[in-house]
Amino acid sequence: QSALTQPPSVSGSPGQSVTISCTGNTSDFGSHNRVSWYRQSPGTAPKLMIYEVSNRPSGVPDRFSGSKSANTASLTISGLQAEDEADYYCSSYTTSDTYVFGTGTKVNVL
């Protein structure tokens, strides 16, 4: 199972918006919306930020939003803050009843 493809890094100034893409194939995404996003700061475990493409768990700010079109999912961070600097990973439940993660994207806050 190959990883989903994400850009290595994206950058933005405080207050700006950044968008991270996550591209796979049909078997990666299937016809469902079981795409989730995770934030990982250095030396810590990942944290769930978005589930089912666009839903936020309790406690996640509404600055984080998700979407999906065909075989590309996206995470947008609006009103970028210094604390948003971290690695972000997408994940999808596949048609083989397995899961696949993306290659990861480092968000840099300038």
Partner 1 sequence: QVQLVQSGAEVKKPGASVKISCKASGYTFITYAVHWVRQAPGQRLEWMGWINAANGKTKYSQKFQGRVTITKSTSASTAYLELSSLTSEDTAVYYCARGWGPHNAFEFWGQGTLVTVSS
Say whether residue 14 binds partner 1 (CB under 8 A).
no
Say whether residue 64 binds partner 1 (CB under 8 A).
no
Question: Of these, 84, 102, 107, 109, which contacts partner 1 (CB under 8 A)?
Answer: 102
Distance between CA 36 and CA 80 in Å, rounded? 20
Say whether residue 101 binds partner 1 (CB under 8 A).
yes
Q: What is the sign of the dihedral through the CA atoms of 93, 72, 5 and 90?
A: negative
- Answer yes or no: are the C-beta atoms of 84 and 77 closer than 8 Å: yes
Question: Applying CB under 8 A, which part among 12-20, 41-49, 60-68, 70-78 lies near partner 1?
Answer: 41-49
